[in-house]
A = this chain, B = another copy of it.
Amino acid sequence: MNLDCIPCFQRQALESLRMNTQDEKLQERVLRKVIEALIKADWTSTPLELANKVHKIVREETGIQDPYKKIKKMYNDIALNLYPKIKQKINESSNPLNTAIRIAIAGNIIDFGPKSKGKFDVEKTIEDILNKEFAIDNYEIFKEKIKKARSLLYFVDNTGEIVFDKLLIETILKFHEKMGINQDLKITLVVKGGPVINDATLEDAKYIGMDKIPNVEFRVTTNGDPNSGPSLNSKEVKSWIKNHDITIAKGQASYEGLSQFNDVFFMLIAKCRVIASDLGVKEGDIVLKYM
């Protein structure tokens, strides 16, 4: 946890409140509850734990169980509409695998958590990132590992973004085909257990057709409710990583939760000072980091 997270969580709570109510009295009451909870909270908790606490207060106080429901569908639909055009762009590229990785990272811009301004220009982000240098670039290691892999564990991050994750997975399958690698790739997709911010849940993954990927199975980690699954930093999740040939983890939250484990490819946009400085990169940088 970094001190920056404290005002950032309050900003997130306000953004979430405004999506669902114009009642300024209610907004103020909930913001005050959030601040009081933060001041009492243990600031050595992880950012994820504190964020979940904050968003739980918003859900409980407003009575709205999924404050980002509309916005999640909206960005899933925006991304689905872009799908054919982006797929063609990948297929026509000189290095489809690298292009698909860049696009999956660009999709990570759709995040109502850190530094959110409440809207994202997905197409512009894709164009920018196709021409951007990686601040950390472990693509060559990725390419070699993915060639040999027979099982892929893939931690998704946000709705909308998952459409580009699906494209990356499809591109990996084509890459195997093109390389003449005669093997089925077993794919395990890890989604979130509950509606926190615009985290992708099983429902979102199915909505955009991730269940149609060949040889796919789903697992769920918690983002609040401990009954919904293990937390990212649990022994159970560690064993998942160990039992797969290759692991991809999308986004800042995955990095926060999994960076103590080995043998994971983190793909993300560094969206806030806290994560950027931990990675030794600048805000806005794109990262493909193997650790």
Interface residues of A (CB under 8 A from B): 3-4, 6-8, 10-11, 14, 24, 27-28, 31-32, 35-36, 38-39, 43, 117, 283
Contacts and interface: CB of A to CB of B under 8 A. Distances in A.
A27 to B, nearest CB: 6
A26 to B, nearest CB: 11
Nearest to A18: B3
B32 A35 contact: no
Contacts of A11: 4, 7-8
Nearest to A24: B3
A287 to B, nearest CB: 20
Given A7-B8, A7-B11, A39-B39, 12 more contacts: A3-B24, A3-B28, A3-B31, A6-B10, A6-B35, A7-B7, A7-B14, A32-B39, A35-B35, A35-B38, A35-B39, A36-B39
11 contacts: A3-B14, A3-B31, A4-B11, A6-B10, A7-B8, A7-B10, A7-B11, A28-B43, A35-B38, A39-B39, A117-B283
Contacts of A39: 32, 35-36, 39
A174 to B, nearest CB: 40
Nearest to A118: B273
A51 B246 CA distance: 50
A55 to B, nearest CB: 15
A25 to B, nearest CB: 11
Contacts of A43: 28
Nearest to A32: B39
A43 B27 CA distance: 13
A70 to B, nearest CB: 20
Nearest to A10: B7
Name which of A4, A10, A283 has the most chain B CB atoms within 10 A of its CB.
A10
A27 B14 contact: no
A222 B207 CA distance: 57
Contacts of A31: 3, 6
A282 to B, nearest CB: 11
B4 A14 contact: yes
Nearest to A117: B283
Nearest to A39: B35
Contacts of A4: 11, 14
Nearest to A15: B4
Contacts of A36: 39
Nearest to A36: B39
Please provide the 5 A-B residue pairs with the shortest distance between their CB atoms, ordered closest to farther: A7-B10, A7-B7, A7-B11, A35-B39, A3-B31
Contacts of A14: 3-4, 7
A248 B194 CA distance: 52
By CB atoms of chain B within 10 A, which of A3, A24, A117 has the most?
A3
